[in-house]
Amino acid sequence: MKTQTVSYMKEHANHLELDNPILVTQNGKPKYVIQDANDYEEQQQTIALLKLINLSERRARQNGLFDLDEAFDDD
């Protein structure tokens, strides 16, 4: 990840290339991350999917598992 200062970002914001996220620092400390909007959306979708997988695994441990025949059994 590239690192730039707030001052640099103010001067060059009009023509940034966001191939990769940019870490913006202020007074030498990380302050912001700037990334492409599509990349951000994909990242959010991935996080949501991982949360669903985690929740499913926890429920399976708590309630036990069942096989496919049981899932589609009409009884």
Of 15-19, 22-26, 27-31, which gets the smallest average pLDDT? 15-19
Q: What is the DSSP letter of 33?
A: E
Nearest residue to 31 via CA among 5, 69, 56, 64: 5
Q: Which domain holds residue 4?
A: 1-34
**Residue with more model confidence, 29 or 14:** 29
Asked whether residue 43 falls in the same domain as residue 27, the answer is no
Residue 56 falls within a domain, yes or no?
Answer: yes
In-domain check, residue 27:
yes
The tokens describing 18, both together, are: 């966001």
Task: Classify the phi-psi angles of 40: left when phi > 0, otherwise alpha if psi is within -120 to 50, otherwise beta.
Answer: alpha
